[in-house]
Amino acid sequence: MFEFLEAIRDFTETGGQVLLVIGLLIFVMWLLILERAMYILVWHKDKKKQAVNEWQARADRSSWHAEQVRQKMISSLSIQLNGSIPIIQALVALCPLLGLLGTVTGMIEVFDVMAISGSGNARSMASGVSKATIPTMAGMVGALSGVFASTWLNRKAKSERTHLEDAILIERNAS
């Protein structure tokens, strides 16, 4: 266990301070993704069942007022379904930008080493190059994993909204 923590510490030192920010961002993003997935897969079913039962208990399900109540119920549950998905999408977009920031700060370090020791010292430039490439890689990995997760969450939220609209149908008078 101690070796694992030491390996993580060495990796973050190699990647620089921006890598810590990227790691924190990815951690928060995945906490939000897991919360949304739990909501959609577990807690939404109870709320959907409650809304359908509430709709079925109504005596009037065909008037203009009933349609407005139906739309309110669907919209309310849809807002709860989408919850933190826009925040997740913003964090996904922020990952590669922070990776780019890590690239810039790492390259600044390389140029500082070149200015101090000359361009021939490759060993001293290596730490700056790793501080330039590791945050870029981490930002892209975080963004890719977040894109797949947010796409799945969006698709599930739209599907659940459609299922909810189908479950709460307005009854039309046949006459």
Answer whether 112's CB lies under 8 Å from 129's CB: no
Which band of pLDDT confidence, cut at 50, 70 and 90, is reported for residue 161? very high
**Rounded Cα distance, 138 and 95, in Å:** 8
Q: Is the pLDDT of residue 118 over 80?
A: no
**Rounded Cα distance, 141 and 26, in Å:** 9
**Rounded Cα distance, 59 and 145, in Å:** 47
- Window from 13-22, 52-61, 77-86, 115-124 with minimum mean pLDDT: 115-124
DSSP letters, 55-114, are HHH-S--SSHHHHHHHHHHHHHHHHHHHTTHHHHHHHHHHHHHHHHHHHHHHHHHHHHHH
* CB atoms near residue 134 (< 10 Å): 22
Give the type of residue at 59. A
Q: Is the pLDDT of residue 119 over 70?
A: no
| Greater pLDDT, 117 or 168 | 168
Q: CA–CA distance from 58 to each of 15, 66, 169 (Å)?
A: 60, 9, 12
Q: Is the pLDDT of residue 173 over 60?
A: no
- Window from 28-37, 77-86, 102-111 with minimum mean pLDDT: 102-111
**Sign for the pseudo-dihedral over CA of 14, 17, 22, 25:** positive
